[in-house]
Structure 1
Amino acid sequence: MSQVVASKYQGKTYSLRVEVEVSPEQLVMVGVSHIGVPLFQLELDGAGLRTKALKGEALPFDPRYILSDFQLAYWPFELVEKDLAQRGYILVRGLQATSRYIYDADHDLVASVEVLRAGARAGYMVIVHHDLPYELLIQTLDRTEGT
């Protein structure tokens, strides 16, 4: 899967391309600048999570947040619900199959995942963290299913 991820945090917008490969054994994400410079690589498998910065300078964010948001949006609902419940959060499915909402123990909205259905950005996924606050706008450019 190839995506363009734009984030808004503290009045600044950051954008990068993220290439994702998922197999039953592992997930690999590579962040690439828009001019093709590799920025980071994440690998998640049975041995755990490994991150590697591929660019000489520090990134303005921790790439593990992108992985966490990817899991929130794409992992099976029941797995995410179980993991969040162990940490005291409640995951609620929205009216659309792709919508998900996370609430804390006080029933305050912490995060939301929604796919825009109308307007110029129809088809984009929006992930909003209401507690931090920051927002991701994700455009999937290419998605290839394995055989």
Structure 2
Amino acid sequence: MSKQLIRLTFIVLLGALLGACSSLTTSQHQVILSSGVALTLTAPPEGLVGQTISQLLEIDYQGEQHSLLAQVQFQPNGLNLVATSVQGLPVFELTYIAGEGINAQRYVPVAEFDFEYIVADIQLALWPMSSLEQSLMQGEMHMVSDGFALHANGDMSVRVHKTDSITVIQHFTRHYQLTITTLE
């Protein structure tokens, strides 16, 4: 076994023993992506309802890369997401219901992050442009050759690049990049 895998397993087990599970409920309906750019969280578009998608999430933040496997199930009023480490250890799960908010459960002590940004990034990656334009409360959306960009006061805040199976979301103000690869 590699040292990194042993270390990760130890951290997960220690965290499970010390902290058990922690849960969080938030009723936030609007996510501030940057100063001047806000997105309202909405129910999935009709075309996604009933689908389940498996994805590899790769997050680049402060020079570090983290990878998670995620399974997202879309329902008429929201979504369920379960995330595991690439080794298969459960990390967190969340349920988002439009108009009610997010209920999330962490299984390991991980760096604090806001679950509403996960739901917002799922919307940016998978919702059709017409739905996103209606959800954008502040800022402007500009189409580019392989996706779109969100601007506030003339500055680009978020850039979304899309191909058939890969979406890259760059958050310039929040200083992270999320690469979402759809798995078959």
TM bin (shorter chain): 0.7 to 0.9
1:109 alignment counterpart:
156
Change (3 A) 1:116 1:80: closer
Contact residue 2 and residue 140 of structure 1 kept, 8 A: yes
Q: Displacement of 1:33 after TM fit?
A: 1.1
Aligned residue pairs, count: 132
Deviation at 1:9, TM superposition (A): 0.7
* Structure with greater helix percent: 2
Per-residue CA deviations over 1:19-77 (Å, capped at 9, x if unaligned) read 00112233111111112222111212245222322314234533332211111121132
- RMSD, aligned α-carbons: 1.9
Counterpart in the other structure of 2:60: 8
Contact 1:6/1:136 (<8 A) preserved: yes
Query: Which aligned runs of 4 or more in structure 1 are off by greater than 4 angstroms?
Result: none
Aligned-partner residue type, residue 91 of structure 2: L
| Residue 26 (str. 1) matches residue 26 (str. 2) | no
Aligned sequence identity (%):
29
Structure 1, unpaired ranges of 5+: 118-122, 143-147
The CA distance in 2 between the partners of 1:126 and 1:51, in whole Å, is 26
Distance 1:127 1:61 in 2: 16
Is 1:131 aligned to 2:173, yes or no?
yes
Superposed displacement of residue 130, structure 1:
1.2
TM-score (norm 2): 0.64
Gaps of 5+ in 2: 1-52
Map of 1:93 onto structure 2:
143
Aligned-partner SS, 1:131: coil
Residues 1:81 and 1:13: Cα distance change in structure 2 (over 3 Å) = same
Q: Which has the higher strand share?
A: 2
* CA deviation after TM superposition for structure 1 residue 116, in Å: 4.9
1:48 maps onto 2:100 in alignment: yes
One-letter code of the match for 2:182?
Answer: T
Instruction: Determine which structure has greater relative contact order: mean sequence separation of CA pairs < 8 Å that are 6+ residues apart, divided by chain length.
Output: 2
Provide the C-alpha distance between the structure 2 equivalents of 1:46 and 1:130, rounded to a whole number of angstroms: 27
Query: Residues 128 and 7 from structure 1, CA distance in 2 versus in 1: closer, same or farther, beyond 3 angstroms?
Result: same
Amino acid at match of 1:78: S
